Amino acid sequence: MIQISNSIEIACPPQRVFEFVADVNNNPKWMPVQGVQKISEGAVGVGTTFKQEFFLMGARYELFGVLTEFEPHQKIAFSYDSPVFVWKGGYSFEPTANGTRMSAIGNVTLTGPMKMMETMFAPKIRKLINDTAPNLKKILES
């Protein structure tokens, strides 16, 4: 299992940061995914399902996600499942003097033949995920 944790301060109110992150259609703007499609009907909340497309080592994969916690302007938790990994984690949003501190925590578990290479891929996967926070900051502060 690969543990992920990071935080970043974004010069925007928590409501704005939360709403941007909660809209899964924004994921390709700040995450390493190419496409996203909401599967479930209705408002975004616990149980919302969606799929995303991503590429890893030249291969295309579909990543299925479900929101497991949803506390407006405070917390979003999720579970992602793909043919090569499972990622369970979440984001918390805390007001600060200058905006919002967004923290991410989670665990990525490689599956199938990739499982044997988890130790080798851990630094690359951490970097890939940790690079999303600065992307989000740049978008929301511009």
Report the percentage of the chain scoring pLDDT > 70: 100
Beta-strand ranges (E) seen in the chain are 2-10, 35-38, 49-56, 59-71, 75-81, 85-96, 99-110
Predicted confidence band of residue 126 (pLDDT cuts 50, 70, 90): confident
Report the percentage of the chain scoring pLDDT > 90: 75
Give the pLDDT of residue 116: 86
Give pLDDT tens digits for 61-70: 899 999 999 9
Give the pLDDT of residue 54: 86
* Number of helices followed by number of strands (H, E) in the chain: 4, 7
Which whole-number Å values give the CA distances from 17 to 61, 72, 95, 118, in the listed order?
A: 28, 11, 10, 32
Average pLDDT on 26-34 reads 91
DSSP letter assigned to residue 84: S
Q: Which amino acid is at 66?
A: V
The answer to whether residue 134 scores a pLDDT higher than 80 is: yes
Task: Give the 3-state secondary structure of residue 34.
Answer: coil
The answer to whether residue 19 scores a pLDDT higher than 80 is: yes
pLDDT: which is higher, 104 or 32? 104
Give the pLDDT of residue 112: 85
Average pLDDT on 77-92 reads 95
Degrees, nearest 5: CA angle 51-52-54: 145
The set of residues, in sequence order, having a beta carbon less than 8 Å from that of 138 and lying 6+ positions away, is: none
Sign of the C-alpha dihedral computed for residues 18, 19, 24 and 29 taken in this order: negative
Q: How high is the mean pLDDT of the chain?
A: 93
Residue 45: how many other CB atoms lie within 10 Å: 14
The answer to whether residue 24 scores a pLDDT higher than 80 is: yes
